[in-house]
Amino acid sequence: MHIALIGYGEVGRILAEDLRARGTSTAAFDLKLAGDAGAAMRNHAQQHGVRLADSHVAAARDAELVISAVTASQAVAVARACAPGLASGAFFLDFNSASPGAKIEAAGIVNAARGRYVEGAVMTSVPPYRIKVPLLLGGPDAAALQPMLNALGFAAKVHSAQLGAASATKMCRSVMIKGLEAMVIEAYTTARHYGVEDAVLASLKETFPGIDWEKQGAYLFQRVIEHGRRRSEEVREVAVTVREAGLEPWSATGTAERQAWIADLADAGLFGGKGEPGFARSPDWRTEVDRILAHLQKANNK
């Protein structure tokens, strides 16, 4: 079976590894191949026997299944870019966290090119589960694709034959999950500023005893630091979804701004990496918060 992966970031590489382990022929394309991340992508592809294509069309050509795993804002653009290369009857699995409206628009493009569009809603973080991440499928062709996916190792379930329903489920979940990440960033940072973080965590534990707020807070901080840019784009799609329902997305909009703010700080090297030689990320959320507070103090003193 020949599969094309559009998007060769963290998710794309995980899927590539697991699909190749199943003996598939796999091609991939990513716009970042020409940038700074290109070398790491090329090395990974060489190690795992993935053919890198030079365009969306070249990757999609002759594939029985195209999987789009890019940032949320690019879901429709990728469908449009791949459409000319789709073989008649080829499945196009949209793995992206986009709004129901975006999924329906992408489906129209793919189906007009004689492809078979299936929306996919990834219901939790991919890395712990890898290819077996819980996946909801939607659209008229979802039932036809599901057994093929599960034979490849996916944990896919048909959610609805109606396009947009799986995406809406994912988006509504993200109001809560991505919002919790943003609230943890804001609450923990503010509590640390006032020196009351231990009291706040104790109060949270009393109210929600089933959650280890120390451990969960550290995990959420790291996920936002590492993936805040992608998360902010997803939550902007969440805001679109909420607005499509007739509500003003105040919570989702604030969450997107907080996620993007952390992403900006990460890109500037505040948490290690760019711009700070020898500066390492820390698994201790207090260390990361102290960096944020020091940055804010410096900015306010200018």
Q: How high is the pLDDT of residue 276?
A: 45
Please check whether residue 26 is in contact with residue 20, taking contact to mean a CB–CB distance below 8 angstroms: yes
d(CA 253, CA 246): 15
HSE at residue 57, side-chain half, CA atoms within 13 A, is 6
Q: How high is the pLDDT of residue 231?
A: 92
d(CA 142, CA 161): 7
d(CA 244, CA 100): 9
272's tokens: 């290690």
Burial profile 46-75: b = 16 or more Cβ within 10 angstroms, e = fewer = eebebebbeebeebbbebebbbbbbbbbbb
d(CA 301, CA 123): 43
| Residue whose tokens read 């700070």 | 276
Q: How high is the pLDDT of residue 201?
A: 97
pLDDT in tens, the chain (302 residues): 899 999 999 999 999 999 999 999 999 999 999 878 789 999 999 999 999 999 999 999 999 999 999 988 899 999 999 999 999 999 999 999 899 999 999 999 999 999 999 999 999 889 889 999 999 999 999 999 999 999 999 999 999 999 999 999 999 999 999 999 999 999 999 999 999 999 999 999 999 999 999 999 999 999 999 889 989 999 999 999 999 999 999 999 999 999 999 999 999 999 876 444 445 667 899 999 999 999 999 998 87
Q: How high is the pLDDT of residue 23?
A: 93
Phi, psi of 250 (to 5 degrees): -60, -45
Domains assigned to the chain: 2-163 (3.40.50.720), 168-300 (1.10.1040.10)
Let me know how many helices (H) and strands (E) the chain has, helices first.
Answer: 12, 8
Q: How high is the pLDDT of residue 272?
A: 79
